[in-house]
Amino acid sequence: MPELPEVETVKRSLTPFLRGAQIKNVEIFFPGIIKEPEPALFKEKIKDKMIIEIKRRGKYLLFSLNEDLTMVIHLRMTGQLTICSRDLPINKHTHLVFELDSEKELRFTDVRKFGLVYLVPTGRWEGIKGLFNLGFEPLAEDFTFAVFAELINNKQGKLKPFLLDQRKVAGIGNIYADEILFEAKLHPQREIKTLTSEEIKTLFLSLRAKLEESIKHRGTSKRDFVDGRGEKGNFQEKLQVYGRGGEACNRCGNTLRRIVVAGRGTVFCPHCQKN
């Protein structure tokens, strides 16, 4: 699933093509991807709307339109949102095609059909539960160490489930939870209440650093992820633990171990990340 760095990469790669563009029409090949309003009304309401800007909130893309509307898209597991020439053949897994006044098209392709699309009044996220309940944006200026410390101090539970909880910190998924914890030298099953002040500070800095580093390298393309131009990211070449169970730790040379935490495959170094 695309996580914060991948969704941010899509946003940045699409913005030069879409800011100020007008949606002339939309072709809907799989109506089930549209969650609100019903597909016929979606098609009617979005026609001739102008894209003012693209924002990101956690793993969601928010297309600000005129007339105080926002199109909200969640790529979920395998969603791809790409800008294409109109003469490019349409992939069999393409479910939405937005015709633009620039003679280009914005296409939503999703092999698994798990993606979500909404068209709602701007700011009215109540019907989009995942978006409405999102926690702090981890790269925002107001997400300071003091805010993070108050969020995590003396909480019950283990570290990795905390990082994956979108109601606390938005946008972190399985890839970056593993990478952040390795960077911070913290075990994914460490009890939060046992963390020292110094460890909390290290975790906060690691969290920011790993997300920023991945954005710099345009996200992780382990399987399906591509940016808005259809190009893969490069951060998979920088991964220290995710997907590397059984391989040697780049830090100490010991064998990386794979376990399951909170129902998610988890890779860590038992030497560098002692519990």
Q: Which of 27, 13, 6, 127 is nearest to 70 (CA)?
A: 127
Half-sphere exposure of 19 (CA within 13 A, CB side): 9
- Active site (annotated) includes residue 161: no
Provide the CA 99 distance to its chain's centre, in angstroms. 25
CA distances from 229 to 18, 152, 175, 206 (A): 12, 38, 23, 29
Phi, psi dihedrals of residue 226, rounded to the nearest 5°? -135, 160
Active site residue 2: yes
- CA 164/CA 105 separation, integer angstroms: 34
User: Quick check: is 232 catalytic?
Assistant: no
The catalytic position among 2, 5, 138, 188 is: 2
Task: Count the alpha carbons within 13 Å of 227 in the hemisphere toward its beta carbon.
Answer: 22
Identify which of 216, 36, 41, 202 has the alpha carbon closest to the alpha carbon of residue 120: 36
In the set 3, 105, 179, 183, the catalytic residue is 3
Residue with structure tokens 């800007």?
53
From 49, 59, 107, 160, the catalytic residue: 59
Question: What are the tokens at 21?
Answer: 């563009």
Of 45, 208, 222, 264, the catalytic one is 264
Residue 264 annotated to the active site: yes
- Residues with catalytic function: 2-3, 59, 264
